[in-house]
Chain A
Amino acid sequence: MDQFTLNLLFVGASFALYIGIAIWARAGSTSEFYAAGRGVHPVTNGMATAADWMSAASFISMAGLIAFTGYDNSTFLMGWTGGYVLLALLLAPYLRKFGKFTVSEFIGDRFYSPTARMVAVICLIVASLTYVIGQMTGVGVAFGRFLEISNTAGLLIGACVVFAYAVFGGMKGVTYTQVAQYVVLIMAYTIPAIFISLQLTGNPIPALGLFGDHVASGEPLLAKLDQIVRELGFNEYTAHHGDTFNMVLFTLSLMIGTAGLPHVIMRFFTVPRVADARWSAGWALVFIALLYLTAPAVGAMARLNITELMWPNGTDAQAVSVEQIDTDPKYDWMATWQKTGLLGWEDKNGDGRIQYYNDKNAEMQEKAAANGWEGNELTNFNRDILVLANPEIANLPGWVIGLVAAGGLAAALSTAAGLLLAISSAVSHDLIKGRFSPNISEKGELLSARIAMAAAIVVATYLGLNPPGFAAQTVALAFGLAAASIFPALMMGIFTKVNNKGAVAGMIAGLAVTLIYIFLHKGWFFIPDTNSFTDADPLLGTIKSTSFGAVGAMINFAVAFTVSKMTAPIPQEIEDLVESVRVPRGAAAAVDH
C-alpha cells in the first residue's frame, strides 16, 4: 500500500470516528448546545479542554519554531502552559460559581452594563477570529500534504470540513468528539517522538532523551546539536540570543492570553461544581503537558536529523548531492513536500550539491567564497511543516506518517470547532438574544448561531490564504488580543470593585491600543504591505507585536482603575454579587436558562 492510500485510510478512519460521535451526541436544547447540560466529569472535561486548546499552533507549528530558533522559543512552552495556573487560580472557580453560559454574560452582569457586554463580545470576536486564521493556516498545511495538493487548495478543502462539522455539533457533540480527537492527536504526536528518541538517544521517553546522550557520537544530544549548527553558522541551539525584555513580555502575553481566551474559559462552565472547576484546570494541563513536554524534544531531534541529512558525511565533508535527493528513498519526503510549495531547494552554484548553511553569517560567507558556494541552497523550509514531515525525515514506517496526518488534522479541527462555537454563541446568545431580539425562539437562536459560524469561517479562510505569520505566530497575536481585553476585565470583576465605566474604558483602551500596534506591524486588517513597521525593528524599543498583549493588559488595568476612581462606586447589589461569586456555596443554584 502506498503512502497516499495509507494517509487517506488513517485520516478517513479518524474522521468517521468523530462524525459518528457527533451524531450520537447531537445537541437538542440550547443548554446542551452551549454547555453540554453541565454534566461533564472533570477528567473528561480536562481531556476535551486539552484537545480544544492544543491547536494547529501547538501540534503542527510550535516544535518547528523551537527547532529553528532553539532556547529563545521556549516562550511558547512556558507561556501556553503557565496560563493555566492563572486560569485555575484567578478565574475558573469563580466563573463557574457565577453560573452563566458565556464570558460576556459575566462581564455584562458584573459591570451592570449592556455596553460592557457588547464591548466584551467585540473583544471576544476579534480575538477568536484571529485565532481561527492561525488554525486555517495549519489546516491548509495538513490537508495540502496528505492530499498532495497545493497549500491553497488544502486550505479550501479544510474549510469545508471544519464548517460541516462545527455546524452540526454543538458543545456536547464537541465535548465527546474532542475526547476522541485528544486521543488521536496525542498518539500521533508522541509515537513518532518515541521512535526518534530511541533512534537518537536510546531513551524511549523523548523528554528525557532530550537531555540524554546522542548514541552515534556519544556526546550529550544538545551539545552535539549546538556544535553542528554552530559549524554551519547558525545560532547555538541552547544559547540565548534574542532580547530578554521581549522574551519576558511575550511569555507573559501568552500566559495572560491563555486565561483570557473565551473558548477555553467556556470549558469551565460545563463542570458540575466549583470544586470540579479547580480540578478541571489541573487535568487539562496534565493532558496538555504530555504534548508540551515532548515538543522541545521533537524540535531539537528534528533539527539534528535535518542537518545531518543535508550534510550526510558531516559538516566538513561534501553536502548532499541533488542526485541523492532525487533517488535515495531517505529523501523522498523532500519531493512530497515540494508539491505543497512549503519546501524548496535550488542548486544555485550548479555544483550538483545542496549546501545548507547560514549565508548571513560573516564567517560562513568567507567559507562559502572559498568553496564556491553562492548562498544557502535549502531556500525554503516552512516552519509549519516540521512536525508533519518529521516521521518521514526520520524514516519511520508508513503507518506512523498516516497517524501524524490524522493527528494534525484533529488538532486543527477541534480548536477551530471550539472557537467557532465561542464566536457563534457570542453572536446568537449575547448579540441577538441579549440585545436585539430578546424573545427569539430556541430554534431561531440555534439557526443564528450556525449562520454566525459560517460567516466566521469564510472570513478566516480568506485571511488564512495570506496569514500574518506561521500558524503559531498568528495564534500568538490572538492571545495578545485576549490578554489585553478579556482577562483584565474578568480579573477586576472578581478581585476588585471596579465599576461599569472603568471596565468599559479599560477594555476599549486595551483592545484598541493592542490592535493598532498589531496592525502597524502586520498590516491593517492583516492585508500584506500595509504595515508601517516590522517586528525586526518595532515601534517601541524591542517590543514585537506578538508581545504587546501584556502591555495592552497593563493599559487596560490602568485605565479601568483611573476611570473607576473618578466615577460613582458600584451599587449594593453588585457588591453582593461579587461577594457571592467569591464563595463556592450555592453554586448548585446557578442559573440555567
Chain B
Amino acid sequence: MSDKEAAKAYWKTNVRIILWSLVIWALVSFGFGILLRPMLSGIAVGGTDLGFWFAQQGSILVFLALIFFYAWRMNKLDAEHGVGEE
C-alpha cells in the first residue's frame, strides 16, 4: 500500500470514530440533558429526574470518557497505520 493510500484509509477510520463520538456527545447533552428530558422524567434521581442529572453531572462525565477514549483509540490507530510520530 502506498503512503497516500495508507493516509487515506487512516483518515477515513478517524472520521468514522469522530462521527460516532459526536453522536454520543450530542445524545447525552442535547438529548438526555434537554430534548429527551421529558421522556426520562419517570426515572427518579435524588429528588429530581435523570435528565436533570445528565444536564448537571452526567454529560460532563461522558465528555471526559469520550476524550480519553478518542486519545487512546487514535494513538492505537496511528501505530496500526504507521503514521505515528517517530
Taking a contact as CB atoms under 8 Å apart, the answer to whether A81 and B46 are in contact is no
Q: How far is the CA of A275 from the CA of B73 in the complex (A)?
A: 11
Taking a contact as CB atoms under 8 Å apart, the answer to whether A223 and B47 are in contact is yes
Contact residues in A for B75 (Cβ distance below 8 Å): 275, 278
Q: How far is the CA of A315 from the CA of B57 in the complex (A)?
A: 30
Asked, given contacts A278-B71, A583-B83, whether A244 binds B34 with beta carbons under 8 Å apart, the answer is yes
> Which of B4, B22, B85 has the most A CB atoms < 10 Å from its CB?
B85
Taking a contact as CB atoms under 8 Å apart, the answer to whether B22 and A71 are in contact is no
Q: Is A247 an interface residue (CB 8 A)?
A: yes
Q: Which residues of chain B (24-64) have a CB below 8 Å from chain A?
A: 25, 29-30, 33-35, 37, 45-49, 52-53, 55-57, 59-61, 63-64
Nearest CB in chain B to that of A208: its residue: B46
Taking a contact as CB atoms under 8 Å apart, the answer to whether B86 and A588 are in contact is yes
Taking a contact as CB atoms under 8 Å apart, the answer to whether A77 and B60 are in contact is yes
Taking a contact as CB atoms under 8 Å apart, the answer to whether A296 and B57 are in contact is yes
Taking a contact as CB atoms under 8 Å apart, the answer to whether B47 and A211 are in contact is yes
Contact residues in A for B30 (Cβ distance below 8 Å): 248, 251-252
Q: Which residues of chain A (254-283) have a CB below 8 Å from chain B?
A: 255, 273-275, 278-279, 281-282
Taking a contact as CB atoms under 8 Å apart, the answer to whether B47 and A224 are in contact is yes
Contact residues in A for B22 (Cβ distance below 8 Å): 85, 89
Q: How far is the CA of A471 from the CA of B37 in the complex (A)?
A: 29
Contact residues in A for B7 (Cβ distance below 8 Å): 579, 582-583
Taking a contact as CB atoms under 8 Å apart, the answer to whether B67 and A84 are in contact is yes
Q: How far is the CA of A220 from the CA of B49 in the complex (A)?
A: 12
Asked, given contacts A88-B71, A279-B71, whether A81 binds B63 with beta carbons under 8 Å apart, the answer is yes
Q: How far is the CA of A213 from the CA of B45 in the complex (A)?
A: 11
Q: Is A341 an interface residue (CB 8 A)?
A: no
Contact residues in A for B67 (Cβ distance below 8 Å): 84-85, 88-89, 278, 281-282, 285
Taking a contact as CB atoms under 8 Å apart, the answer to whether B84 and A585 are in contact is yes
Q: Is A18 an interface residue (CB 8 A)?
A: no
Q: How far is the CA of A212 from the CA of B46 in the complex (A)?
A: 6
Which of A85, A90, A273, A584 contacts B83, CB < 8 Å? A584
Count of inter-chain pairs, beta carbons less than 8 A:
140
Contact residues in A for B35 (Cβ distance below 8 Å): 244, 248
Chain A interface bracket (under 10, 10 to 19, 20 to 34, 35 or more): 35 or more
Which of B25, B33, B82, B83 contacts A74, CB < 8 Å? B33
Contact residues in B for A222 (Cβ distance below 8 Å): 46-48, 52
Nearest CB in chain B to that of A286: its residue: B64
Q: How far is the CA of A587 from the CA of B59 in the complex (A)?
A: 33
Taking a contact as CB atoms under 8 Å apart, the answer to whether A282 and B74 are in contact is no
Q: How far is the CA of A223 from the CA of B64 in the complex (A)?
A: 29
Q: Is A293 an interface residue (CB 8 A)?
A: yes
Nearest CB in chain A to that of B52: its residue: A238
Taking a contact as CB atoms under 8 Å apart, the answer to whether B56 and A74 are in contact is yes
Q: How far is the CA of A273 from the CA of B22 in the complex (A)?
A: 24
Taking a contact as CB atoms under 8 Å apart, the answer to whether B83 and A82 are in contact is no
Q: Is A221 an interface residue (CB 8 A)?
A: yes
Taking a contact as CB atoms under 8 Å apart, the answer to whether A82 and B25 are in contact is yes
Taking a contact as CB atoms under 8 Å apart, the answer to whether A251 and B34 are in contact is yes
Taking a contact as CB atoms under 8 Å apart, the answer to whether A275 and B34 are in contact is no
Which of B48, B49, B59 contacts A81, CB < 8 Å? B59
Taking a contact as CB atoms under 8 Å apart, the answer to whether B59 and A275 are in contact is no
Query: Measured between C-beta atoms, what is the minimum distance from B72 to chain A in Å?
Result: 9
Contact residues in B for A207 (Cβ distance below 8 Å): 57
Query: Measured between C-beta atoms, what is the minimum distance from B65 to chain A in Å?
Result: 9
Q: How far is the CA of A127 from the CA of B43 in the complex (A)?
A: 41
Nearest CB in chain A to that of B8: its residue: A579
Nearest CB in chain A to that of B56: its residue: A296
Nearest CB in chain B to that of A81: its residue: B60
Nearest CB in chain A to that of B75: its residue: A275
Nearest CB in chain A to that of B33: its residue: A78
Q: Which residues of chain A (288-310) have a CB below 8 Å from chain B?
A: 289, 292-293, 296
Contact residues in B for A82 (Cβ distance below 8 Å): 25, 29, 59, 63
Q: How far is the CA of A71 from the CA of B47 in the complex (A)?
A: 13
The 8 A CB mask of A564-593 against B (1 = contact, 0 = none) is 000000000000000100111111100000
Q: How far is the CA of A470 from the CA of B10 in the complex (A)?
A: 46
The 8 A CB mask of A110-140 against B (1 = contact, 0 = none) is 0000000000000000000000000000000
Query: Measured between C-beta atoms, what is the minimum distance from A244 to chain B in Å?
Result: 7
Contact residues in B for A158 (Cβ distance below 8 Å): none
Q: How far is the CA of A226 from the CA of B47 in the complex (A)?
A: 9
Query: Measured between C-beta atoms, what is the minimum distance from A82 to chain B in Å?
Result: 5
Query: Measured between C-beta atoms, what is the minimum distance from A109 to chain B in Å?
Result: 20
Asked, given contacts A82-B25, A90-B18, A248-B30, whether A77 binds B55 with beta carbons under 8 Å apart, the answer is yes
Taking a contact as CB atoms under 8 Å apart, the answer to whether B29 and A78 are in contact is yes
Contact residues in B for A275 (Cβ distance below 8 Å): 71, 74-75, 78, 84-85
Q: Which residues of chain A (57-80) have a CB below 8 Å from chain B?
A: 71, 74, 77-78
Asked, given contacts A248-B30, A275-B75, whether A585 binds B37 with beta carbons under 8 Å apart, the answer is no
Q: Is A549 an interface residue (CB 8 A)?
A: no
> Which of B7, B14, B64, B75 has the most A CB atoms < 10 Å from its CB?
B64
Q: How far is the CA of A88 from the CA of B78 in the complex (A)?
A: 16
> Which of A90, A251, A278, A285 has the most B CB atoms < 10 Å from its CB?
A278
Q: Is A219 an interface residue (CB 8 A)?
A: yes
Q: Is A93 an interface residue (CB 8 A)?
A: yes
Asked, given contacts A78-B59, A89-B22, whether A582 binds B64 with beta carbons under 8 Å apart, the answer is no
Which of B21, B47, B48 contacts A85, CB < 8 Å? B21
Q: How far is the CA of A584 from the CA of B70 in the complex (A)?
A: 15
Query: Measured between C-beta atoms, what is the minimum distance from A294 to chain B in Å?
Result: 10
Please list the 8 inter-chain residue pairs (A to B) with the smallest Cβ-Cβ separation, ordered nearest first. A220-B47, A211-B46, A222-B47, A74-B55, A278-B71, A223-B47, A282-B67, A296-B56
Subset of 9 A-B contacts with CB under 8 Å: A78-B55, A212-B46, A220-B47, A221-B47, A275-B71, A584-B78, A584-B83, A584-B85, A585-B85
Given contacts A495-B15, A579-B4, 8 further A-B contacts (CB under 8 A): A71-B55, A78-B60, A81-B60, A90-B18, A248-B34, A251-B34, A255-B29, A285-B64
